[in-house]
Amino acid sequence: MEYAIVTKNLTKVYKIGKEQEIRALDNVSIKIRRGEFFGLLGPNGAGKTTLTKILATLLIQDAGEAWVNGYNVLTDPDKVRKSIGWMQGETGGRALYWRLSGIDNLRFFAALQGVSSKVAEKRIWAFLKFLDLDKDAFRLVKDYSTGMKMKIMLIRALLHNPDILILDEPTVGLDVESTLKIREFLKTISRELDKTILFTSHNMYEVEQLCDRIAIINKGRIMFIGSPIEIKEKVESLHIVQIQLRSDKVTLEEMIRDIERSPYVTKILNYYETGNVYNVRVQVEDPYLAISDIANILRGRKIEKIERVLPTLEEAFVKLLGS
């Protein structure tokens, strides 16, 4: 079986009141390969959570079909549940028993998942230790930080060692160190254990770092599926030029004002200072004319670099959504 997750024309409509309805998913068809780290990107209300909930058997679609690990979500929900580990980070750690300790939460869910006590105990302690929670294992969850709760939720999703992980914003609210650790860990289990990971996030950098492929979803429709590089290349009309200039005798504001004088510059995308170098990213109409024009405007200044670059995933994402 080549694919871990397949959806075919998946459609979900929520009825609001008697007449109004929201089309949360509109003919969504995706194929996620076994062992693939797959990202789902989209603005709020795009349909990401609806899709993950259908795949996690929490929601029934109105039309179309979906298979997880080869099992149909409608006809074989029990087998689908055995195959998946589900985590919803959006809740910010709410979906735990706050009056129980972290370890009691995990032991309870291990029992529900049918993991033997002996194996569960080993796994729980290993995960807790790995995610630096072992010392807080016996504290009540109500006294945990959001990050700690999120880690417990992630461990919970992994306890029964599922083939597929469906992680809805798993790093929301985590500190930088924990985020990095979790990212590394997810990357490793995807690579070493051939786990398939469906991952939603608002953090473009994270998605770009982790995911083999990405689907961009908006208003319930899949707009694009491909690798991060392919997505960037897809937005051909988005031309970006990056300028680096030594900060001698000029302020960053003056430099930006100068660059804005070029008729080819349509938008200043971002600017920052590193050491004594100013960095400015601009969106332009014609990159070649823009580069020579900007170079001309900045003549006499110490230009380190001026080049055409690929858009960031975030820029490509905004462009795709805009179009």
Partner 1 sequence: MRCFKLTSESEVIKLLESEKVSRTSKIFLFIRRIIAIIYMQLKILMSYKMQLFLDLLDVIINVLIYFFLAILVDPTKLAELGYSSDYLAFSITGIALSRYIWNSIARISHRMQREISIGTFESIVTTDTKLSTWVIGQSFFGFIWSSLWFFGTLIAGYLVGAKLTTNPILITEGLLIVLLTVIVHFGIGIMMAGMSILHKQIETLLFVFAVLIEFFGGVLYPLGLLNKYPILYYLAQAFPFTHGLEAFRKIMILGYPITHPAVYTKIFALLAFLPIFFLSFIVLEHYYEEARKRGELSSY
- Judged by CB under 8 A, the residue of 63, 75, 111, 257 near partner 1 is 111
Residues 158-177 that bind partner 1 (CB under 8 A): 158, 160-161
Contact between 63 and partner 1 per CB under 8 A: no
Contact residue for partner 1 among 59, 250, 318, 321 (CB under 8 A): 59
* Rounded Cα gap, residues 229 and 90, in angstroms: 27
Coil, strand, or helix at residue 189?
A: helix
Piece of 84-92, 202-210, 213-221, 231-239 that binds partner 1 (CB under 8 A): 84-92
Asked whether position 13 contacts partner 1 by CB under 8 A, the answer is no
Least distance in angstroms from the C-beta of 5 to partner 1:
15
- Give the number of residues in contact with partner 1, rule: CB under 8 A: 55
CA dihedral 224, 320, 35, 81 (to 10 degrees): -80
Least separation in angstroms between residue 6's CB and partner 1 is 19
Q: Is 107 in the site for partner 1 (CB under 8 A)?
A: yes
In angstroms, the Cα distances linking 205 to 17, 96, 183, 201, 209 are 39, 28, 11, 10, 6
* Burial environment of residue 113 by CB neighbours within 10 A (0 to 12, 13 to 18, 19 or more): middle
Output phi, psi for 114, to 5 deg. 80, 20
Stretch in the footprint of partner 1 (CB under 8 A) among 152-160, 201-209, 286-294, 305-313: 152-160
Considering beta carbons, is residue 130 or 272 the nearer one to partner 1? 130
> Is 34 among the residues that bind partner 1 (CB under 8 A)?
no
For residue 66, what are the β-bridge partners?
7
149 sits near partner 1 (criterion: CB under 8 A)? no
Q: Is the Cβ of residue 86 or residue 317 nearer to partner 1 in the bound state?
A: 86
> Residue 304 half-sphere exposure, CB side, CA atoms within 13 Å?
14
Helix extents (H) in the chain: 48-55, 77-83, 102-112, 117-130, 146-158, 176-192, 204-210, 228-234, 252-260, 287-297, 313-322
> Residue 267, class by beta-carbon neighbours within 10 Å (0-12 exposed, 13-18 middle, 19+ buried)?
exposed
Amino acid of residue 53: K
Distance CA 59, CA 18 (A): 20
Nearer to partner 1, 98 or 272 (CB): 98
Candidates 32-40, 120-128, 204-212, 214-222; binding stretch for partner 1 (CB under 8 A): 120-128
Interface residue with partner 1 among 21, 45, 60, 272 (CB under 8 A) is: 60
Stretch that binds partner 1, among 121-129, 246-254, 277-285, 313-321 (CB under 8 A): 121-129
Nearer to partner 1, 83 or 201 (CB): 83
Among 84, 210, 241, 243, binds partner 1 (CB under 8 A): 84
126 is a site residue for partner 1 (CB under 8 A): yes
165 φ/ψ sector (left φ>0, alpha ψ -120 to 50, else beta): beta
Q: Of 25, 36, 48, 57, which lies in the binding site for partner 1, with binding defined by CB under 8 A?
A: 57
Give 67: exposed, middle or buried? Use CB within 10 Å, 0-12, 13-18, 19+.
buried
Q: Least distance from C-beta 10 to partner 1, angstroms? A: 14
User: Which residues bind to partner 1, rule: CB under 8 A?
Assistant: 14-15, 50, 53, 56-60, 78, 81-82, 84, 86, 88, 91, 94-100, 104, 107-109, 111-116, 119, 121-123, 125-127, 129-130, 134, 140, 153, 156, 158, 160-161, 184-185, 188-189, 192-193
